Amino acid sequence: MANTPQGTTSGTSTPSFRDVVRDVMKHYKHEKESEAHQIFRNAGGHQPKGLPEIVNAEEETVPGIEHPGSTGVIYCSDRAMANGFSYTSSHEWANLGQGAPEVGPIPDAPERPNTIPLPLDSLEYAPTTGVKALREAVAKLYNHTYRQGKASQYTYENVCIVPGGRAGLSRVAAVIGDVYTSYQVPDYTAYDQVLSAFKRLVPVPTALEHKDKYHLDVEQTRKDIRTQGLAVVLASNPRNPTGQVIKGNDLKEVVSLTKEGTTVILDEFYSWYIYPENSSDYGKSISSAAYVEDVNEDSVVIIDGLTKNWRLPGWRVCWVIGPKNLVTALSQSGSFLDGGANHPLQLAAIPLLDPLHVQKEKIALQKHFKAKRDHVLARLKALHLDVDIPPTSTFYIWLNLEKLPAPLNNGLTFFEELLKEQTIVIPGIFFDINPAHRRNLFNSPCHHFVRLSFGPPLKDLDMGLDAIDRVLKKAKNSGMKDFGQGYKTTIEVTEPAHV
């Protein structure tokens, strides 16, 4: 893309102040020179730190209280609000940062309840492991989908109902002992914070490589288990934000890591968001449950729920599946962490797990989201923003901006420029290890990326793509002089938003 020299003083005269500023913008390599990065640093919990465990006194708000640093989604929603985003104005905005699927009707999907019964019993606490009939329904669904003909079958005792995926992750993290716990980056942003919040376990991050399409190297992990003593491995599969999935024999290999005496935790929230090449493959989903031999002996822990696959993020009904022994431990951590999932909604969820209902939902979802993925990829291509590693699963696109002219080629500045156009995306650095602790965010391998979500309805996606088009046209027609500056900093949080 041409970087049109605008306002250049002619001949040999000294360059104007604007020229100097523009030159710095073009060449800057350090976050100190970037307005977008300075705004990030000034948000609570995002100051650079030497080591994660050192308390930064200046960040203490109330004695003893320290900002943990918000997850990317919350930072982005705060920045969007500073630019005028609110729930009442949300229809004027394109939220491609959204980590949730559209929740309204989609073609051919079965109807879902729009009222919830409240029987008297449901006003009581539910057990911290969840309502037995729902646990049974989950076990039945997994046996039906992934374990037909296998001797070892899941029962309700292998299922713990939890109030959302993050609650499930926290319950699991709370019962991990003093051991090395491996996770990879980029991956779901909450892992870093959840794992750091539970001080007994030692989080061990591994960077996945762009050149390997962000694939987990199972053989290397096996070696690390043996040489470093990794006791727990956590990964999302399909993976947020890269949209890649481990399946078939590769997934079987991941499950086989349990034979090394390691617990494998697979976050399978996007297990239905698989986009088949052949139409006969619609309706197939992916789970490590298919490769578990003995449900009580193999230390495979699966986390999933209604949030993404059923497109019901607001219900907060999710589950953890694993050996019976794990489930009793999770019941204990749930008793002090969250107290259990909402009782009436657990009851209402039972019919939604019926295998016939599920099959219809899955097919409708895969067709609809595949069409949205293809539409977004085609529009990005037309904007010369080719996606080098297109998603085969999830509803995220991990978009490399490296080919754009500076400063649009870094995720934070691209994000700020899109906010001016009422569009939200998530800068890539939020998917890196401890971004706030880096000395220079420009050195992060995720710095040149943004995550675009095709979770929202098609018309919102088009609004966002139109905004990207406008930004690129502005760069082409007027050069880079207006980019990288003029960002609103006042954050008037009047209502909570979840982007």
Ligand X SMILES: Cc1ncc(COP(=O)(O)O)c(C=O)c1O
- Which residues of the chain form contacts with ligand X (CB under 6 A)? 99, 164-166, 188, 236, 240, 267, 269, 305, 307, 313, 318
> With contact defined as beta carbons under 8 Å apart, do 130 and 159 qualify?
yes
Instruction: Work out how close the CB of 168 gets to ligand X at its nearest, in angstroms, rounded to a whole number.
Output: 8
Taking the least distance from each CB to ligand X, the nearer of 72 and 435 is: 72
**Alpha-carbon dihedral angle through residues 133, 318, 395, 392, given to the nearest 10 degrees:** -70
Residue 31 or 304 with smaller CB distance to ligand X: 304
Residue with tokens 């070892």: 152
Measured in Å, how far apart are the chain's first and last C-alpha atoms?
Answer: 31
- Identify whether 407 is preceded by a cis peptide bond (ω within 30 of 0): yes
**Least spacing, CB of residue 163 vs ligand X, in Å:** 8
| Residue 75 identity (one-letter amino acid) | Y
Indicate the residue among 408 and 426 with the shorter CB distance to ligand X. Answer: 426
| Least distance from ligand X to the Cβ atom of residue 169, Å | 7
Closer residue to ligand X (CB): 99 or 323: 99
Write down the least CB distance from residue 335 to ligand X, Å.
19
Based on CB atoms, which residue is closest to ligand X, 407 or 411?
A: 411
Q: Which of 216, 211, 214, 168 is nearest to 191 (CA)?
A: 168
CB of 317: closest distance to ligand X in angstroms?
9
Q: Which is nearer to ligand X, 188 or 369 (CB)?
A: 188
CA–CA separation, 408 and 448 (whole Å): 9
Beta carbon of residue 101, minimum distance to ligand X (angstroms, whole number): 10
Kindly tell me the sign of the dihedral angle through the C-alpha atoms of 367, 370, 376, 377. Answer: negative
If the CB atoms of residues 243 and 484 are measured against ligand X, the closer one turns out to be: 243
Compare residues 213 and 226 and give the one whose CB is closer to ligand X. 213
- The CB-of-395 to ligand X minimum distance in angstroms stands at 10
Q: In DSSP terms, which residues pair with 399 in a beta bridge? A: 450
- Taking the complex as a whole, how short is the minimal distance between the CB of residue 203 and ligand X, in angstroms? 16
Separation CA 17–CA 337 (nearest Å): 57
Compute the least distance from the CB of residue 270 to ligand X, in Å. 7
Q: Which is nearer to ligand X, 240 or 287 (CB)?
A: 240
**Pairing state of beta strands 449-453 and 426-427?**
antiparallel
